[in-house]
Structure 1
């Protein structure tokens, strides 16, 4: 008999308890992130934009459309966010070498330093959240 067959299914109440714990821990993580970002002088959305510029394999930039998808935002809102990040010296726009209509968003040296510091802080917090996510997903 395998382990799965011997495991008792959680009750409805236990399922709610897991969901509650997950939502609470997720909110704690988001609050941590807000505070950490504020400590670096950026907003959480700016931090997420920095992360997503580095989220595509084999390149170190992202397009406005890709950032909009990752941020689940409208492209015109992302353009405004990129502008604010550009004014803060975190990113720069460059035309794509193959398609002049495509704008690439790259990190500046300042943006890389900011991302590095915040990502390290988030790694430690994310490790503690992982166990909660796993427990919440068990049925």
Structure 2
């Protein structure tokens, strides 16, 4: 690899970390952890459906099944999500957003839009990969 490759990678990782740090702060300011927000986002946005299975969420969050179950437990206690038996396979568990979860997700997602637009513009411009 050449110096410019390391610069491009360093710049990308810096912007990614800055986005994630800002996201963590936005979530905390709105009463959720970043992981709780990520769970809500994956339920709402990871498929054409408005719900997800525990297995799908584990994959999307890149986490272990039992860790996702514990996260769902916490979100369920907060009134953000509910579990339902699978429609096609009763062994599967569907995780659905409740109105409080929808509202929290919408609020936090909206707060992310300005930074998302900045990143989209930055990384779609010719030459984005050249470190400044």
TM-score range, shorter chain: 0.7 to 0.9
70-79 or 117-126: bigger deviation: 117-126
Which residue number corresponds to residue 24 of structure 1?
14
- Tell me whether 1:65 sits opposite 2:55 in the alignment: yes
Aligned equivalents of 1:13 and 1:91: distance in 2? 47
Query: Which consecutive residues of structure 1, in runs of 5 or more, have no partner in the other structure?
Result: 1-10
**4+ runs of 1 displaced by more than 4 Å?**
none
Task: Give the drift of 1:72.
Answer: 0.3
What secondary structure is seen at the aligned counterpart in 2 of 1:136? coil
Contact 1:49 1:71 in 2 (8 A): yes
Distance 1:56 1:19, change over 3 A: closer
Which residue number corresponds to residue 136 of structure 1?
129
TM-score, normalised to structure 1, is 0.84
Aligned length: 127
1:5-51 alpha-carbon deviations (Å, 9 max, x no partner): xxxxxx92222222222111111101100000001111000000000
Taking only aligned residues, the RMSD between alpha carbons, in angstroms, comes to 1.8
Contact 1:25 1:132 in 2 (8 A): no
Aligned equivalents of 1:57 and 1:22: distance in 2? 27
Aligned equivalents of 1:110 and 1:70: distance in 2? 22
- Matches of residues 110-129 of structure 1 in structure 2 within 5 Å? 110-129=100-119
What secondary structure is seen at the aligned counterpart in 1 of 2:115? helix
Query: Which consecutive residues of structure 2, in runs of 5 or more, have no partner in the other structure?
Result: none
Which residue number corresponds to residue 29 of structure 2?
39
Structure whose CA Rg is larger: 1
